[in-house]
Structure 1
């Protein structure tokens, strides 16, 4: 019996579990969350090819260590710093896009929904939605190419400056006239902010997403490109087929009908009543003021 007790005291204490606190569990969850998103980012970008290349280089490095290939090991040792710098330069667009997407996600506001002015009022009216939908499908019938960018939380001033400032009220007739063939404003995109057309003939960044269909032209790539770098919604009318597409968050949804487009815009309208039931920072203060008035 003493032998068994001595065995347990001598060997099993070595493999005993460490003390795990709440902070340790929280730290594990944060690391797991970060690793999950890094893996997803790697799979969705050119970085996956980079990871494959790094794995191949690591295999060669292990072989060189096992066989004591001093020259190859010297090359690895002296080029690793340059290689990391080169990776950052080559994959700068992907890294920038990943950081932009990270900054775009409102993690804090989703946990603590502060009551601010942007949440209280709608982005654009029902009339604006109706006018955009009507104009879009009127242009689709005549196969008039169109590119309509609707601003959300991220300002589009950088792209607005590339076009001609209009600052006009939205109407279906005006939208159709802007994109009419052989008119001064038909080329490029228009930018809508709230209930107004702020600019026309704007230049947009083209998407370099290799998964986009090869039959899509510059107009669709520009629509997807602006949705990759901002949180805007882009409506594209194809000049070749007359089909309507929507680009948002780098994803292109093709062949949408009027009801789908209206539903999509209504979803992002952010329409809320003035007495929205949200957590207010000054809620306690207002209660005390009411008591004082009584």
Structure 2
């Protein structure tokens, strides 16, 4: 009843202040998690959660000795964290001093997007010039896990050198598709569903049919490099954009993956949706 009386006695202003207080706490926690994501501090955070849970369990189960050990770890752990992560903490404090703590996340995201686009453009350009066939699918909203399971797991960072090496002829992984999830190469040598549409041009090979087949059942972006001509194509949402120059490829890939749509559509591009336009 004491809790109820205290709740009834609160004013709208105090309720609003408490709500704002909780929202700020969650916002700070969210920003901290965003900042440490992808760094070794994530593993530290997991370890801290394990120790805290273990400490609670020792109290519940009555393990006094183990509980004393866990408590000592917690008591001295804060000092250990300061010593081990001194460089990271110093950089974070510098960001706060410059007022750029939260702007840093957006800047890192833009840098990562540019890195991915550069890696894709460099690898596709290399393979197109040498007529190295390639098939690369990029996951968006619809999951591609069922296709990842058909290939060889990799979970590797996306680099132009790795992509080129995968598709070099007569290597173990060159036959099939590479599937990307987020900023990782999830798997190579994957099997994609072939389109059975009767409207596809007869000159298109298996790679183009697989790219179109995947675009018909998912929202994935698929890149195709023709082994016969070296031509670069993109598929998404049932559309096939053929014979792209590297400038057109980079602009369209950025638009589909991250950024705004290009202002102009070159007349040399074919758009397939049951017929050839232009």
TM-score using structure 2 length: 0.52
Structure showing greater Rg: 1
Corresponding residue for 2:188? 200
Contact preservation (8 Å) 2:215, 2:237: yes
Q: Secondary structure at the match of 1:201?
A: strand
2:168 to 180, 185, 189: 180
Q: Distance in 1 between matches of 2:203 and 2:133?
A: 15
Deviation at 1:213, TM superposition (A): 0.7
SS of the residue 2:122 aligns to = helix
Query: Please, which runs of 5 or more residues in structure 1 have no aligned partner?
Result: 1-120, 273-294
Separation in 2, partners of 1:222, 1:266: 22
State the alpha-carbon separation in 2 of the partners of residues 153 and 187 from structure 1: 26
Per-residue deviation, 1:251: 1.4
**Superposed displacement of residue 264, structure 1:** 1.3
Query: In the alignment, does 2:212 pair up with 1:224?
Result: yes
3-state SS of paired residue (1:190): strand
Q: Deviations over 1:220-279 (max 9, x none)?
A: 10011001100000000000000001111111110001111111122133369xxxxxxx
Secondary structure at the aligned position of 2:250 is classed as helix
SS at match of 1:140: helix
Local SS of the residue matching 1:147: strand
1:136-171 deviations in Å (ceiling 9; x for gaps): 110011100000001111110010000000000111
Q: Distance in 1 between matches of 2:117 and 2:195?
A: 26
Give me the TM-score of the superposition, normalised by structure 1: 0.50
Q: Relative to structure 1, is the Cα distance of residues 172 and 270 closer, same or farther in structure 2, using a 3 angstrom cutoff? A: closer
Aligned-CA RMSD value: 1.8
Any gaps of 5 or more consecutive residues in structure 2? 1-108, 261-278
Q: Does 1:233 align with 2:221?
A: yes
Q: Quote the residue 1:190 is aligned against.
A: 178
What residue is the counterpart of 2:126 in the other structure? 138
CA contact (8 A) 2:113 2:258 kept: no
